[in-house]
Structure 1
Amino acid sequence: MLTSSRSRFYWANFGIPLLCAAVVFLMFDMTKIDIAFSNLLFDPVTQTFPLDQVHFFEKLTHKWARIIPNWTAEIALIGAILSFVWPLINTQKHLRLGSFLERCKAAPVLRFAYDHRRDFLFVVFAFAICTGVIHFLKSHTSVYCPIETTIYGGKIAHMEWYNNFQLFREAGDGRCWPGGHASGGFTMLALYFVARRYRWRYSKALMYGALLLGFVYGTTRVLQGWHYMSHTLWAGIFVWLACLLTALAFYGRARLEMPVLQKHEQLAQRAQPQVAT
């Protein structure tokens, strides 16, 4: 029973992404599908990707869109810092300070941060590790963006990532594979693993929302000529694996594979501490 459950967990969380990686490699990296799709978006007369010239589209989809992952990371970092504050405050000894914190509603925030310290730290580490993985792959493959290559009026020859991969040193100045902007959306998958820890019944909705956000982020850059579609898919695969490994380190497999709580179970769980007190 336990072996079956463990196998199912690893197959679903590692097997499926690795299978997707094989499919993406065979379908995109070993064919010209990426180029064929980008050709549809390229205007050969003006030698431009029309949407790359629309400044509002650039602001909306590239600059403003970063607010979502950026604010999430900042909130998690603030929460992680505040989680160390509450244990330092001895409200029994400093009654006035405790009373002041309760009146200004700071005490509940500090208690919440303390109770969820592991979750805040997990999100901070997950975001940092995902960013590190993507930056490592970018610098050690040196793939140039479509708009920078000779195919679309640039000066650099097109090259696949596996033709230029260097494990122990930077491969060059190209920084286009995997998709960095897409990975920013995919890092929101960290919230899915927090939800899994608490067996929240809407955890899958969080997962699908993070995947959709990453695909939207990545696709908008494809439309502008700054990425191929496969760059987005690879970003999603690597971010998922990075988040999963970080979640296993923070929470453990047993906790992550527990089934989600149904509504009546959630109500019973909330009522249990009240009965105990």
Structure 2
Amino acid sequence: MKTSFILNKSQTDYAIKSDSLYPLPAGFYLKQFVLLILSAMLFIWLSRSESIDMALTRMWFDPLTHTFPWKDNYWLDVVNHRLLKQIVIGVGIVLLLAGVIRRQPRWVLVALLMGIGPLVVGVLKATSAHSCPWDLIEFGGKAVSYPLLGVTPANSGPGRCFPGGHASSGFSALALFFLFYPRQPRLAWALWWTAMVIGMLMGFGQIMRGAHFLSHNLWAAWWVWLTQCMTFGCVTHLLKKRKTL
């Protein structure tokens, strides 16, 4: 029994090391599914309540001038809103080109994952009737706010503000998790948390400018990670199934 166990472990390790597009176990996706469901329930409550969103945004709103003083701040607009986004996109492009040149399919897939997550968020944002804080009546605008899954009012404003598109660029780096897991799980999770921090910082900069609510950024992270998990799982499963035919 002991010899059999050792042999099986050796074969598993060899399979992981020799397959650049290794499939992850079903248990991993089950855990992610449960966590995504639980976090979705929390985010739905947060979005429907709106109390935390409103309270946090009011901290950066000047009721005397009816404006967001940090809206045109250089560091928030140029550095946080533009430069950081361009850096993340640049990392994805470099990884994609390196993967093609060195014929590393996992690098290519991870680079594509970095683009797929924000793309999904962008589509959802473009079709959303929820307006940004600076467009709402509460913050000097003319649009009416309404809770997530609520009835859309006639004067909901320009919309196109949910989930947070800018934060999704930072969260796209969550894909780097798949570059190292399960060979280097500690590094993979460290990169995952780093991407979460970057995404939240980029999103918080938008909160300060009046461009998004906290829930907008949280949902951006949710959709990016869901999309990346599903895409990586489907691609690796199909490749594994093709090899067994």
TM-score interval w.r.t. the shorter chain?
A: 0.7 to 0.9
Compared CA separation, residues 120 and 172, structure 1 to 2 (3 A): farther
The equivalent of 2:234 in structure 1 is 249
Does the 8 A contact of 1:122 with 1:246 survive in 2?
Answer: no
Residue-pair matches, total: 213
TM-score w.r.t. length of structure 1: 0.70
Equivalent AA in structure 1 for residue 193 of structure 2: Y
What is the alpha-carbon distance in structure 2 between the residues aligned to residue 131 and residue 54 of structure 1? 25
- Residue pairs, 1:46-195, within 5 angstroms: 46-82=65-101, 113-114=102-103, 116=104, 118-163=105-150, 173-195=158-180
In structure 2, runs of 5+ residues without a counterpart are: 1-23, 241-245
Q: Aligned-pair RMSD on alpha carbons?
A: 2.5
Does the 8 A contact of 2:170 with 2:199 survive in 1?
Answer: yes
Does the 8 A contact of 1:69 with 1:185 survive in 2?
Answer: yes
The equivalent of 1:98 in structure 2 is none
Equivalent AA in structure 2 for residue 18 of structure 1: I
Offset of residue 244 of structure 1: 0.6
Compared CA separation, residues 197 and 135, structure 1 to 2 (3 A): same
Compared CA separation, residues 195 and 163, structure 1 to 2 (3 A): same
Does the 8 A contact of 2:171 with 2:224 survive in 1?
Answer: yes
Q: Write out per-residue CA displacement over residues 191-247 of structure 1, whole angstroms, 9 at most, x where no aligned residue.
A: 111111534541111111011111111111011110000011101111111111111
Equivalent AA in structure 2 for residue 41 of structure 1: W
What is the alpha-carbon distance in structure 2 between the residues aligned to residue 119 and residue 138 of structure 1? 29
- Residue pairs, 1:226-265, within 5 angstroms: 226-252=211-237
Compared CA separation, residues 198 and 68, structure 1 to 2 (3 A): farther
What is the alpha-carbon distance in structure 2 between the residues aligned to residue 10 and residue 249 of structure 1? 11
What is the alpha-carbon distance in structure 1 between the residues aligned to residue 228 and residue 59 of structure 2? 34
Equivalent AA in structure 2 for residue 19 of structure 1: L
What is the alpha-carbon distance in structure 1 between the residues aligned to residue 202 and residue 151 of structure 2? 26
Offset of residue 143 of structure 1: 1.5
| Aligned with 2:210 (options 225, 244, 259) | 225
Does the 8 A contact of 1:139 with 1:172 survive in 2?
Answer: no
| Aligned with 1:22 (options 37, 41, 48) | 41
Compared CA separation, residues 173 and 122, structure 1 to 2 (3 A): farther
Q: Write out per-residue CA displacement over residues 56-105 of structure 1, whole angstroms, 9 at most, x where no aligned residue.
A: 332121111113211112113323442xxxxxxxxxxxxxxxxxxxxxxx
Does the 8 A contact of 1:149 with 1:157 survive in 2?
Answer: yes
Equivalent AA in structure 1 for residue 195 of structure 2: A
- Residue pairs, 1:198-217, within 5 angstroms: 198-217=183-202
What is the alpha-carbon distance in structure 2 between the residues aligned to residue 206 and residue 127 of structure 1? 13
Does the 8 A contact of 1:142 with 1:164 survive in 2?
Answer: no
What is the alpha-carbon distance in structure 2 between the residues aligned to residue 58 and residue 231 of structure 1? 18
Equivalent AA in structure 2 for residue 58 of structure 1: D
Does the 8 A contact of 2:53 with 2:215 survive in 1?
Answer: yes
Q: Which moved more, 1:195-204 or 1:21-30?
A: 195-204
Q: Relative contact order (C-alpha < 8 Å, sep 6+): which is higher?
A: 2
Matched, 1:37 2:56: yes
What is the alpha-carbon distance in structure 1 between the residues aligned to residue 197 and residue 75 of structure 2? 22
Does the 8 A contact of 2:44 with 2:148 survive in 1?
Answer: no
The equivalent of 1:99 in structure 2 is none
Identity of aligned residues (%): 29
Offset of residue 164 of structure 1: 6.0
Offset of residue 24 of structure 1: 1.3
